[in-house]
Structure 1
Amino acid sequence: MQIWVDADACPGVIREVLIKASQRTLVALTFVANQRISVPHNQHITSLQVSAGFDVADDEIVKRCNANDLVITDDIPLAAEILAKDGLAVNFRGEAYDKATIKATLTMRDFMDQIRASGERTGGPKSFSARDKMNFANQIDRILATR
């Protein structure tokens, strides 16, 4: 198993959780972004900078991800591609994406995009909380314990 992180929008507290988990379990961890991501000197932790552009980091993650790898992302289309490759995908709040519901999740995402495009204000996502960090850390621990 390897952990891939869609790091362009990854909260700093989530990076810290992932770095500690990788150091504890020795699971390979790669942050992929179109900017430089600073990571500790550790043979299991790397950063991959890709060129700027729409979905460049996502495409690189899909290209490199194997079955049973774990991808950390809030990007629902990326999660769908990872699930199609028999990988695992978890968002920054610790919610695992599921093959059985990913199509409905994509449909809802597209519907909300259409509403926003029409000028409707939807309020955006709720702010990231300490509880979200705890949920994420617990989910990562569960996944890594079963690998």
Structure 2
Amino acid sequence: MKIWVDADACPGVIKNILFKAADRTRVELTMVANHPMKIPQRNYITFLRVSTGFDEADNRILELLDAGDLVITADIPLAAQVLEKEGYALNPRGHLYSNKSIQEQLRMRAFKESLRDSGVDTGGPAPMNQKNTSKFANHLNKWLSDI
């Protein structure tokens, strides 16, 4: 099993948790992004740079993903595709996506997008906090203990 990270928008605190988890368990961790980033020099942690463009990182993750792999992403459509491929998807804020909830999340995303397109300010996500970080770490540790 591997961990894939949609790394362009992944918060630094989450990246650090992932690096420490990879060091502890030696699970393969791949950061996928369209801009360079520093990663620890380990044979089980890699960086995969993709070209700049809409969904390039998402497409590459989906291409390389195997059933049972974990993807870290805040991108709901990507999470839905990961679930379709029998992978696991975890939001950096600690929400574990599920087949049960993903359709509702896609509908809510589309609804908010339609509001924004009509000029309504829907605001953005709240800042990351310790509760989000702890929830993320707990889900990650559970996944790691199950592999």
* TM, length-normalised to structure 1: 0.98
Do 1:37 and 1:49's aligned partners in 2 also have CA atoms closer than 8 Å? no
Give the C-alpha shift of residue 121 in structure 1.
1.2
Give the C-alpha shift of residue 138 in structure 1.
1.1
Q: Which structure 2 residues correspond to residues 68-147 of structure 1 after superposition, within 5 A?
A: 68-147=68-147
Could you tell me the percent identity over the aligned residues?
Answer: 49
Q: Which structure 2 residues correspond to residues 24-35 of structure 1 after superposition, within 5 A?
A: 24-35=24-35
Cα-Cα RMSD: 0.7
Looking at structure 2, the residues matched to 109 and 123 of structure 1 have their Cα atoms a distance apart, in angstroms, of 13
User: What is the letter of the counterpart of residue 142 of structure 2?
Assistant: R
Indicate the SS of the match to 1:112. helix
Indicate the SS of the match to 2:112. helix
Residues matched between the structures, number? 147
Worse-superposed segment, 80-89 or 102-111: 102-111
Looking at structure 2, the residues matched to 38 and 66 of structure 1 have their Cα atoms a distance apart, in angstroms, of 25
Give unmatched runs, 5+ long, in structure 1.
none
Looking at structure 1, the residues matched to 125 and 101 of structure 2 have their Cα atoms a distance apart, in angstroms, of 20
Looking at structure 2, the residues matched to 58 and 99 of structure 1 have their Cα atoms a distance apart, in angstroms, of 19
Worse-superposed segment, 99-108 or 69-78: 99-108
Which residue of the partner structure matches residue 7 of structure 2? 7
User: What is the letter of the counterpart of residue 106 of structure 1?
Assistant: L
Give unmatched runs, 5+ long, in structure 2.
none
Dislocated runs of 4+, deviation >3 Å: none
* TM, length-normalised to structure 2: 0.98
Give the C-alpha shift of residue 54 in structure 1.
0.3
| Residue 20 (structure 1) aligned with residue 20 (structure 2) | yes
Which residue of the partner structure matches residue 43 of structure 1? 43
Indicate the SS of the match to 2:3. strand
Looking at structure 2, the residues matched to 108 and 99 of structure 1 have their Cα atoms a distance apart, in angstroms, of 15
Q: Alpha-carbon deviations, 1:41-84, whole Å to 9, x = none?
A: 10110000000000000000000000000000000000001000
Q: Alpha-carbon deviations, 1:81-106, whole Å to 9, x = none?
A: 10000000000111100012211110
Looking at structure 1, the residues matched to 122 and 59 of structure 2 have their Cα atoms a distance apart, in angstroms, of 28
User: What is the letter of the counterpart of residue 79 of structure 2?
Assistant: A
User: What is the letter of the counterpart of residue 12 of structure 1?
Assistant: G
